A and B are shown apart, each in its own frame.
Chain A
Amino acid sequence: MKIAVCVKQVPDTETKIRIRADGRSIEEAGVNFVVSPYDEYAVEEALRLKEKQGGEVVAFTVGDERAATALRTVLAMGADRGVHLKDPAFEGSDALGISRILAAALKKTSFDLILFGKQAVGTDQGQVGPRVAELLDLPHVSVVVSLAVEAGRLTAEREIEGALEIVESPLPAVITAQKGLNEPRYASLKGILAAKKKEILTVTLADLGLEASSVGAAGAREIWEKLEVPPSRGAGKILKDMEPAAAARELVRLLREEAKVL
């Protein structure tokens, strides 16, 4: 099986957010960047499939110089090689642009399975997996919590409200991974050392044959005009040092008479 896994480098969720003077982006200095947690489930699933069925796992990322460390992490987990999609023209891409870049790169090889995280932590859109599937004219299943691949077909369970949907599809196909799919491994010291010797191919706009105007800030259709800290909710009413029964009675009264939610 030839398996592709697409990953994104994101700020660690614990990171404190400081908004830049431009009012549209975050200060990156001092931020700890990690592979988006859902992408780790995708990587783990790719590695397990390869271990069972043989083949190759190729990791893709779009990003600046710094994003190469995300690829190294995935190589250290066990991926065979990396593709770093890096070009000044890619900067400022929205989900549409990123999907065009990834689809153009993925098209150069026939992969049996292409895996993504269900969404990148930070922007939390959940768009790129299904968008890439559409651009490559492949079937997809998103928010997958269980996956079986056999004889050129897959059966997946995807999370919906109050239930799981069972979806079957021929390969090649695109999957987006949800927590629950597996338990991602850590990179071992041996893996980290091995990763240093693995190949990372850098691919630019020209290599992909894309128009500069279709990607990056130039091609973006979803434009962040402003980034703000959410309005503070104001000081709440906290009941302290009260008998449990009295506190319960007072809370119900407040919810009914003041907040009017009961």
Chain B
Amino acid sequence: MPKDVLVFVESRAGQVKRPSLQALSEGRRVADALGAKLRALLIGSQVEALASELAAHGPDSVLIAEHPLLAHYQAEAFTAVLAEAVRTTASEYAFLSATAMGRDLAARAAARLEAGLASDCTHAEVTAGELRVKRPVYSGKAVATVRLAGSPSLATLRPNAFPLAAAPRTPSIEKLSLDLPESRIRARTTGIKASEAAEIDVAEAAIVVSGGRAMKGPENFALIRSLAEALGGAMGASRAAVDAGWVGHQYQVGQTGKVVSPMLYIACGISGAIQHLAGMSTSKVIVAINKDAEAPIFKLADYGIVGDLYEILPKLTEEVRRMKGQ
């Protein structure tokens, strides 16, 4: 029996989430190594139109689950669909991205399927027909190599930890027939409160510029915001800055904030406490700007500037704008 792979593709407001395309790319790589089929699963109320966007990243087929009750993410409804999709396709592995939706859904669906689940993985490899994943544990101070025993097994993949790869296919489209009685959905999503301006969320950004206690007050975060904007990235913060009330909790990176894994992370006036590192240590390239040459963040940094951020950040923003011809 080939060990087929199913990837749940997340969409919100008619948009496929980029981390899902990364998960699909990884799913293709794993399915190839296993000599198996890759299926993408789209769940929503009008999602069939999104299937064409997935073709570039390698699914052999796209399963569509459409129902008015699936217009918003609701754990019970989505669990019923995902579990049904895994069962009817006899998939060995189901991947989701480790987003708010993916983590919630994977856990509940794993229980329904009596399956093992490895959360927030940063690496996957197939050796001798068996899948192993790696995931950071103990605030990133260690990495566990995990074997998922039994079939099916689930894994959530950390956004941006897996590259987006091109693997064009012409997937077949299959419809999943659904029996979704309204009475089965008790917890209902009744609204969404967007936070502030339509900014890129720190957990999804390819470039993150974060400020720490050294920012001294909310007004100085303009320096962080300007550099983030010039780079086309998102603003982040340490807990010290959030707890001081200078920026909202949605910007916090770290153990009790968001886990990020961007291409580029720039830590400005952040010392590098272990709980902060827990949220960003798998970033591809780490830059530290700190006036203390002994700050622990420099141990992790690929590049750093020892100096006063109030002098350096304006120059850096200027230099980036010049480079981009803005």
Contact = CB atoms under 8 A, between A and B. Distances in A.
B192 A165 contact: yes
Contact of B76 (A139, A161, A222, A251): A139
A237 interface: yes
Interface string A37-75: 110000000000000000000000000000000000000
B76 A167 contact: no
A201 interface: no
A38 B257 CA distance: 11
Given A17-B142, A261-B264, A262-B231, A161 B203 contact: yes
A225 interface: yes
Interface in A204-258: 220-230, 233, 236-242, 244-245, 247-249, 251-252, 254-256
Nearest to A180: B249
A256 B323 contact: yes
A244 B310 CA distance: 10
A221 B153 contact: yes
A21 interface: no
Interface stretch (A1-9, A82-90, A168-176, A185-193): A168-176
B256 interface: yes
Given A238-B298, A255-B287, A221 B275 contact: no
A163 B195 contact: yes
Interface in B268-290: 274-275, 278, 281, 284-288
Given A170-B186, A240-B293, 7 more contacts: A139-B76, A139-B187, A168-B187, A179-B256, A244-B307, A248-B312, A262-B323
A259 interface: yes
Nearest 7 A/B pairs, CB to CB? A221-B116, A139-B187, A134-B111, A248-B315, A130-B107, A169-B187, A162-B201
B139 A238 contact: no
Q: How large is the interface on A (under 10, 10 to 19, 20 to 34, 35 or more residues)?
A: 35 or more
Grouping DSSP codes into helix (H, G, I), strand (E, B) and loop, the B interface class, with mixed when no group exceeds half, is: mixed
B100 A160 contact: yes
B140 interface: yes
Contact of A169 (B142, B144, B188, B256): B188
Most B CB within 10 A of own CB, among A142, A157, A160, A166:
A160
B167 interface: no
Interface stretch (B38-46, B57-65, B117-125): B117-125
B145 A228 contact: yes
Contacts of A169: 186-188
A111 to B, nearest CB: 16
Contacts of B193: 157, 163-164, 166
B285 A259 contact: yes
B150 interface: yes
A261 B190 contact: no
A19 interface: yes
Contacts of B278: 13
B150 A221 contact: yes
B115 interface: yes
A132 B301 CA distance: 40
Contacts of B100: 143, 158-161, 165
B75 A162 contact: no
Contacts of B106: 127
Nearest to B315: A248
A103 B261 CA distance: 34
A251 B142 contact: no
B22 interface: no
